[in-house]
Amino acid sequence: MRPPSRVREMPILRVVARALVPVILLFGLYVQFHGDFGPGGGFQAGVIFAAGLIIFALTFGVEALRQVVSVVLTERLMAAGVLLYGAVGVLAMFLGGEFLNYTALDPLTTGHHGQHLGIIAIELGVGIAVAATIMRVYYAFVGRRPNGDGEPREPALGAEQGGGAS
Amino acid sequence: MPPVELLLMLLLLATVIVVARLKDLFAAAMLTGIASLLAAGLFVLMDAVDVAFTEAAVGAGISTVLFLGALSLTSRREKQQERTRILQILPILIVVATGAALIYGTWDMPAYGDPDAVIHHHLAPDLIAETENKIHIPNIVTAILASFRGYDTLGEVVVIFTAGVGVALLLGGLGLRRSDGRGEEES
């Protein structure tokens, strides 16, 4: 395997990644918000979205990605996704239904779209939580050093300093 | 078995045998991804597109990246181990016995796609009939996962969250947490 610095200098990889990453992210959003009509849903969308960002990190270096999505942000989004899911359930209780009974969300909408609204909201929570968790796990892996003391020294896969998407 | 399924099955079999025999861990990680992609192809042929989606994204995508990430921390080749005769034979015996038991178990299963199978007469007809009226979305799989079984899915998201927290606590990552408890993040 070539070291990451050499990968960074490969023009074909850089150009292909630059062209592909936006498409992958867009496809992730499509899978997210079209999941109630076609195959897919929050889990798959979250994984695809995270995979797109990880491809970006593999090509342009993890430092470039951390400027977009910081480690602390992934940790906050992990919790935010779960809380969004739970909040939809609690909101349904406040509106007179059972926990996670989306039909109770009806008063918020003009028609009988409570279920649809609830599913879109909780799938969004799933997608955010899954994407953030995978990003966090990736950061944990690239942050490890062979000597195991957690101090950044010799960077792992795609993890070295500098470079960037400039 | 239709020829496409048969071809995919044979490719899958060949891939996993090669993975088991390889000493080159980099090639093994790549072939594991290919095995996942072949499995995803099989799921598509079984009309399980949601499962295929997940298998392709997680199995072929993310876990390959994580394998490579782990591999960059260790050596590229598997260490040669001195093993006695019994230790060489015992694992293959266990694997063959387990596989034989699983194949024996499939004899009691209904034929693949059998419309008279019990599973298709328990809840499935109700769910297929009522999703349109109760949930108002066309994808029945999403309706079941997100609404009929909303509790289960909430539990699954909590499991994923817990796994992420566990990995973050065990492996840390990028040396961000200092002993004073404040991150040096937001760079």
pLDDT in tens, A41-61: 889 999 999 999 999 998 888
| pTM of the model as a whole | 0.81
The crossing angle, in degrees rounded to 10, of helices B25-45 and B63-71 is 170
Residues on chain A touching B157 (C-beta within 8 angstroms): 81-82, 85, 125-126, 129-130
Say which CATH number the domain at B40 has.
1.20.120.1200
Give the C-alpha separation, A120 to A102, whole Å: 10
Mean pLDDT, chain A, rounded, equals 82
Counting residues of chain A whose pLDDT is more than 90, the rounded percentage is 45
SS3 B119: helix
For chain B, which ranges sit under pLDDT 50?
Answer: 177-187
Range of B44's domain? 1-82
Would you say residue B99 lies in a domain? no
Nearest to A140 among B143, B171, B187 (CB): B171
CA nearest B135 in A: which residue?
A: A115
Give a yes or no: residue B31 inside a domain.
yes
Residue B132 inside a domain? The answer is no
Token code pair at residue B22: 């390889």
For residue A131, the distance in angstroms to the closest alpha carbon of chain B comes to 10
Q: What ipTM was estimated for this complex?
A: 0.81
> Would residue B60 count as lying in a domain?
yes
d(CA B154, CA A125): 10
Residues of A in contact with B50 (CB under 8 A): 39-41, 44
* pLDDT at residue A3 greater than cutoff 80: no
Tell me whether residue B75 is in a domain. Answer: yes
Domain membership flag for residue B137: no
Integer-rounded Cα Rg, in Å, for chain A is 19
Q: For tokens 């994407």, what's the residue? A: A131
pLDDT at A137: 92
Q: How many domains does chain B have?
A: 1
In a domain, B46, yes or no: yes
Look at residue B182 and tell me if it is in a domain: no
